[in-house]
Amino acid sequence: MSVDFQRFQSVRARQRSERRRWRSGLSALAVALVIIAAIQVAGPMMPAWAGITRLLNRGASLVGEARGRVEMVGRDTRTIRITSGFLGLTSVALVVTEDTLIVVGEKEAGFADIRLGEPVVAAYEIGRDALQAKRVEVVLPARAPGN
Q: What is the pLDDT of residue 60?
A: 47
* pLDDT tier for residue 36 given thresholds of 50, 70 and 90: confident
Residues 112-136 pLDDT 10s:
999 999 999 999 988 777 889 999 9
Q: What is the pLDDT of residue 52?
A: 60
Q: What is the residue-wise DSSP string for the chain?
A: --HHHHHHHHHHHHHHHHHHHHHHHHHHHHHHHHHHHHHHHHGGGSTTHHHHHHHHTTT---EEEEEEEEEEEETTTTEEEEEESGGG-EEEEEEEEEEEEEEETTEEE-GGG--TT-EEEEEEEE-SSSEEEEEEEE-PPPPPTT-
Domain boundaries, the chain: 3-43, 62-138
Residues 54-70 pLDDT 10s:
555 554 455 788 889 99
Its pTM stands at: 0.55
Which class in CATH covers the domain with range 62-138? Answer: mainly beta
Q: Which residues does 90 contact at the CB level (< 8 Å), separation at least 6? A: 41, 44, 68, 83, 84
Q: What is the pLDDT of residue 73?
A: 93
